[in-house]
Each structure stands twice: as C-alpha cells, then as structure tokens.
Amino acid sequence: MREIIFDTETTGFDHQGEDRMVEIGCIEMVNRIMTGQTFHCYFNPQRPMPEAAQQVHGLSDTFLSDKPLFKSKASGLLEFLADSPLVAHNAAFDFGFLNRELERCQEQPVSLDRMVDTVALARVKHPGAKLSLDALCTRYGIDRSHRVKHGALLDAELLAHVYIELTGGRQIGLGLASEKEEAPPETASTDEDREKRPFREARPHSASAEELARHAAFVDSIEDPIWKAGAAD
C-alpha cells in the first residue's frame, strides 16, 4: 500500500485569509517502509513573513525571495501525491493550506477522504497524553536531536517513524519470504543420522501401584466430592 507522509510550513494559521504555504515536504511509504522517494519544495509566498512564523521555521523573506511560486510546482506535486492516502500531524491544518493553494491556481482540491490524521490516531492510542510531534518522538524513542527548527521534510520524516509506531510498529518477520531468498538449511533427520544415535530405553509413563494407591486414598479423603453429588439420584 502506498501512502504519502507530508508536512507544510506557512506564514501563519489562517489559510482562508492572507497566509500562504512556504514549504512542503512529502515522503513516500510503501507497506509502511520509506522508499527514499520524496517531494520537497519552498515557495515564494508573495507577502512578508511574520516574525512569529519565522521564529518557528526560520524561513525569511530573503531566503524565499527567489523561490518558485506554488503554481509552477503544483502539477509535479499532484503527480507525486497521485491518489495515495495523505498522512499528516493535525492534518486539517495541512490539508487546508494545500487545498487553498490548489484553489488559487485553479487545480482540483485533494479529497478529505484521503486524510489520515496522526493526532487523531495518537489520541485514541494514548488518551490524555501530550500529542505534539516532539512528545510522540520522545514516547517512541525517535531521535529528533537534529531538529533545531521546524522543517517540512524533516518533520515529515519524523512523522513517518511516529506513524509506523502508531499503527503497530514494523512487525519484522511476519511477511512471507520472497522466492529470491535462500531456503533455510535442511533440518530433517536422515537414516544415517538415526543410526548414529545412542539407543535409549523407553521411559515409563504409567503410574506405579504405589502411586495409584496414594491417589485412591487422597480421593477417599475428600468430603462430599462434587462428582458423587448425583450418584444417589
């Protein structure tokens, strides 16, 4: 199964207003294994970057000034996304900005039926716990030491590891071996092997007369045993 784990960085929180997407990072996952295929792009938002947003992701007006407009990369992004489910943390936020940018360049929005929200998954699996990406990385022992600021591709990679844990872990060894893999070594005994083995007398399994007598005495010592309750009827 192909899935896309993605994250966005923006100028703010209001996708319906003047805020814009400035970065998107997407990671392809097939059967819950990252394939190494990614889509990553920065965008010129055509508006000033608020200081508060820059403090989060570090993307300045100067850095974004020579980056492409979203419209010029929309077709490549949609081709990468294809019809796969899209996994995001607090997915309504990312879907809101993605679809607003698609709307601005007259492209069809991505169906919300494809949305997989890891916050919702984490809320069910860990009720009452902190649900931020940082908190979930800590819970699952995922190294985020290289995450100084938010970054769409980096956060998508961290989220991919979190998503694997939220959906059951890797479960190594449950798949069927491929035909290309070497067959396990033969372990069945041969006639020659059996001839080399030392002869052993069969071990007794029946109770001895003494053991049977001790068992009968124990049974007789039980007062009002349940198995005799209906004997008189």
Those residues with Cβ within 8 angstroms of residue 155's Cβ, 6 or more apart along the chain or in another chain: 7, 25, 89, 133, 147
- How high is the pLDDT of residue 230? 60
What is residue 213's predicted lDDT score, i.e. its pLDDT? 86
Along the 233 residues of the chain, how does pLDDT read in single tens digits?
Answer: 999 999 999 999 999 999 999 999 999 999 999 999 999 999 999 999 999 999 999 999 999 999 999 999 999 999 999 999 999 999 999 999 999 999 999 999 999 999 999 999 999 999 999 999 999 999 999 998 888 788 999 999 999 999 999 998 765 434 444 444 444 444 455 556 556 666 666 666 677 788 788 888 888 888 877 766 665 55
Catalytic residue, from 150, 161, 205, 215: name it.
150
What is the C-alpha to C-alpha distance for residues 159 and 145, in angstroms, rounded to an integer?
A: 14
CB 25 within 8 A of CB 154: yes
Q: Is 15 a catalytic residue?
A: no
Q: Give the up-direction half-sphere exposure of residue 164: CA atoms within 13 A in the CB hemisphere.
A: 20
Cβ pair 21, 45 in contact under 8 A: yes
Q: Is the pTM of this model over 0.85?
A: no
Hey, what CATH topology would domain 2-166 get?
Nucleotidyltransferase; domain 5 (3.30.420)
